[in-house]
Chain A
Amino acid sequence: MNNVKIDIQGLNVWFGSKHVIKDVNMKIKPNAVTAVMGPSGCGKTTLIRAIDRLNELIRGSKTTGEIYIDKESVYSKDTDIFELRRLVGMVFQKPNPFPKSIYENIAFGPKLHKMASGEELDAIVEKSLKGGALWDEVKDRLTDNAFNLSGGQQQRLCIARALAVEPDIILMDEPCSALDPAATAKVESLIRELAKNYTVIIVTHNLQQAARVSDFTAFMYVGQLVEYGSTNRVFEKPESELAEQYITGKFG
Chain B
Amino acid sequence: MGGETLLEEVLKLVIKHKSRTKDVWRKVKGDIVLALCLTGIVLTLMSLAALLFDAFQEGLPWLDIQFLTSFASRRPEQAGILVALMGSIWVVGLTALISFPLGVGAALYLEEYAPQNRLTSFIRLNIANLAGVPSIVYGILGLGLFVEALALGRSILAGALTLSLLILPVIIIVSQEAIRSVPTADREGAYARGATRWQVTREIVVPQAFPGMLTGTILALSRAIGEAAPMIAIAALVYVPFTPTGPLDRFTVMPIQIFNWVNQPQSAFRGLAAAGILVLLAVLLGMNSIAIFIRNRYQKRGR
Contacts and interface: CB of A to CB of B under 8 A. Distances in A.
Interface stretch (A32-40, A82-90, A193-201, A212-220): A82-90
B193 A109 contact: yes
Interface stretch (B130-138, B196-204, B262-270): B196-204
A14 interface: no
Contact of B192 (A54, A83, A113): A54
A109 B302 contact: no
A134 to B, nearest CB: 17
Given A92-B192, A109-B193, A112-B194, 6 more contacts: A54-B188, A54-B191, A83-B194, A86-B193, A98-B189, A165-B194
A161 B302 contact: no
Given A99-B208, A108-B203, A82 B196 contact: yes
Given A96-B185, A99-B303, A108 B193 contact: yes
B190 A108 contact: yes
Interface of A: 52, 54, 57, 59, 81-86, 89-90, 92, 94, 96-99, 108-109, 112-113, 145, 147, 158, 161-162, 165
Contacts of A82: 194-196
A96 B116 CA distance: 26
Nearest to A148: B303
A90 B203 contact: no
B186 interface: yes
Contacts of A113: 194
B193 A147 contact: no
A112 B185 contact: no
B62 to A, nearest CB: 49
Contacts of B191: 54, 57, 85
B189 A112 contact: no
Contacts of A57: 187-188, 191
Nearest to A109: B193
A158 B195 contact: no
A165 B199 CA distance: 16
Given A59-B116, A112-B193, A145 B188 contact: no
Interface string B172-188: 00000000000101111
Interface string B12-23: 000000000000
A99 B302 contact: yes
A52 B195 CA distance: 12
Contacts of A52: 192
A222 to B, nearest CB: 25
A90 B302 contact: no
Interface string B240-270: 0000000000000000000000000000000
